[in-house]
Amino acid sequence: MSKKKFKTEISQLLDLIIHSLYSHKEIFLRELISNSSDALDKLKYLTLTDDELKKLDFDPRIDINFDADAKTLTISDNGIGMNAEDLDTNLGTIARSGTKNFLSQLSGDAVKDSNLIGQFGVGFYSCFMVADKVTVTTRRAGEDQAWNWQSDGRTNYSVDETEREQQGTTVVLHLNDNGTEYTNRWSIEQLVKKYSDHIAFPIFLEFDDTKFEGEGDDRKEIKEHKIEQINAASALWKKPKSDLSNEDYNEFYKTIGHDNEDPMMHLHTKAEGTQEYTTLFYVPSKAPFDMYQADYKPGVKLYIKRVFITDDEKELMPVYLRFLRGVIDSEDLPLNVSREILQQNRVLEAIKSASVKKVLGEFKKISDNNPEKYKEFIEQYNRPLKEGVYSDYGNRESLLELIRYKSTEEDGWTSLAAYKERMKEDQKGIYYITGDNESTLRNSPLLEAYKKKGIEVLIMDDEIDEIVAPSIMNYKETELKAVNKSGSADDLKTEEDEKKEKDLEPVLKKIKDVLGDKVKEVKASSRLSDSPSCIVADEDDPTMQMQQMMRAMGQADMPDIVPILEINPDHAIVAKLKDASDDAVFEDVSFLLFEQAMLVEGQQLKEPAEFVKRLNRVMESAV
């Protein structure tokens, strides 16, 4: 017997599934049937395209049987099957970098964690909620050797050679006390109808049907062994919308999305004419946990005339819509289309283009007609839509109507369109501030003059805003202006401000001499009212937050780009600096004006000890 240990993440996951998902334990059957359906899908495709497998006598089916006395439940298919390497990869590890990230988010709260695990997709491992031992016998199509995988779902599993008459996989669950309720015809039929009625392959249940004949003392119990199909076995997405209920859509989503929750929304489209295809897309109620992982799992499956082609193709939909789950089924693509041709295929590109427009159009409809629902959507998917603004120029205008921001004037979220409607008559731009902390941004000295003049500023606290907002440039002929850039304050400047700047020039020059190359320039500010100083980026330079992002993305050798220091001419500290005769005090105050401006913007000081010494010296002289 070849014993192996589960990878650490699997052991953690199994423990969590068993203890956190008890209230959802019935999903194990949905997951196992879904795995069988995928295996049949893959083999069906190969029997049409692979010369070695075209001659295979293939009658796809899934079989379920149970033994109440032995406390076993068996799910079997004649799909593609697995070899030893497949077993080790699929059942011994989760080869996804996002797994550790997912596990780190778990809190120990069973209700909260069950929802999070639902987003992850528990798959095969859910069977250990109802079984204390699982045996898998499998043989890969085109290979002679069969394999047996066995585990108690704790720390170890074994893989050994065995025999199996044909290709496919049989999973035998040795049920624990939580699972014995699934050893009867009624419970199995109910679960299959609820979760798997739409599976495109027939599901057969094997059972003994008990009948009674005769009356009184002549009454006899007769057992008849039966095998009956218990699902409709039709592709749900091919059915007319009028024949489907919300419940039908939701249960189909739970199978293909491996989720316990209903989706947030769905969009079912059938196109006819020059191109014929059907799409059914879902938006999960919670963003997929791996959405920001480089190795995220695409959620859209491609079918051609109901034949499954791939579920691992990131070209089916644009990257920024990677949260979608669903199906594309084309009548026009050739069955033997290769991955390389698929990426360049004009038919698929046309389907993709039309589908994106439909999906974005649906989002717009919801934003117009159901603000509460759209708020839920934005809280999960605002960031990927912003990615689309940056990457999908063809749909940029539509995406600009969909993205939302926080604001100094409005509670909750606001659109660019709503901001523009609220603009003051003589306002020269759409103003925004970027950073990584909403509270810090709302209290930034950079907003003082805007607040005083009643000018709204958008609060952009998502790191992606640093990249996306400057790329927008303008919205409906109105320029977007960053208030943490030097040029935006020119809109606020008056003749009086220019006079104050001229009067302050000797002090500004002296401060610049003290600070040297720590600052690019020292200017009088027209954006400050209460604070003595602030820092901004030159119009052509990245902000300090952008510099931090670029270093985090691997550009460690990026040179420091120093900020501009702005001084408030009306502040009492600055007024006293004009008359300061002690050079040491002037130097300390100059540095403190710079360092406090850095701290207020959430920046780290390179020499905190020197800052403290300066602060102590100034406090000592003040006392």
For residue 603, give the CATH number of its domain: 1.20.120.790
Domain boundary among 341, 369, 397: 369
- Higher-pLDDT residue of 449 and 338 is 449
Same domain flag for 223 and 242: no
- How distant is the alpha carbon of residue 539 from its chain centre? 33
Which residues span the domain enclosing 334?
Answer: 237-369
Same domain flag for 86 and 215: yes
Q: In three state form, how does the secondary structure of 159-224 look?
A: EEEECCCCCEEEEEEEECCCCHHHCCHHHHHHHHHHHCCCCCCCEEEEEEEEEEECCHHHCEEEEE
Same domain flag for 259 and 335: yes
Burial 479-501 (b: 16+ CB within 10 A, else e): ebbbbbbbebbebbeeeebeebb
Least confident segment among 214-223, 387-396, 459-468, 584-593: 214-223
Residue 101 has pLDDT above 80, yes or no: no
Domain annotation covers residue 459: no
Count CB atoms within 10 A of the CB of residue 322. Answer: 21
Same domain flag for 197 and 103: yes
Decide: pTM greater than 0.85: no
Contact 141, 80 (CB under 8 A): yes
Contact 391, 398 (CB under 8 A): no
Same domain flag for 219 and 252: no
Same domain flag for 157 and 121: yes
Same domain flag for 516 and 572: yes
Contact 356, 318 (CB under 8 A): yes
| 224 SS3 class | strand
> Beta strand pairing status for 131-139 and 72-77?
unpaired
**pLDDT, mean over the chain:** 87
Contact 293, 361 (CB under 8 A): no
Same domain flag for 136 and 192: yes
pLDDT for res 111: 47
Domain annotation covers residue 125: yes
Q: Give the C-alpha separation, 26 to 127, whole Å.
A: 9
pLDDT in tens, 172-222: 999 999 899 999 999 999 999 888 888 889 999 999 887 777 777 777 778
- How distant is the alpha carbon of residue 336 from its chain centre? 32
pLDDT class of 558 with cuts at 50, 70, 90: low
What's the domain count of the chain?
3
pLDDT class of 88 with cuts at 50, 70, 90: confident
Domain boundary among 336, 369, 402: 369
Domain annotation covers residue 479: no
Domain annotation covers residue 504: yes
Domain annotation covers residue 419: no
- CA geometry: angle 279, 283, 286, nearest 5 deg: 160
For residue 311, give the CATH number of its domain: 3.30.230.80
pLDDT class of 96 with cuts at 50, 70, 90: very low
DSSP string, 251-294: HHHHHHHT-SSPPSEEEEEEE-SSS-EEEEEEE-SS--TTTTST
Domain annotation covers residue 314: yes
Same domain flag for 288 and 320: yes
Domain boundary among 369, 403, 423: 369
Instruction: Quote the strand ranges of 51-105, DSSP E.
Output: 62-67, 72-77
Domain annotation covers residue 553: no
Q: Give the C-alpha separation, 596 to 599, whole Å.
A: 5
- Higher-pLDDT residue of 122 and 157 is 157
Nearest 5°: phi and psi at 524? -75, 140
Same domain flag for 249 and 226: no
Q: Tokens 């590109």 — which residue? A: 349
pLDDT for res 569: 92
Same domain flag for 522 and 582: yes
Domain annotation covers residue 439: no
Same domain flag for 194 and 269: no
For residue 46, give the CATH number of its domain: 3.30.565.10
The structure tokens listed for 541 are 């330079």
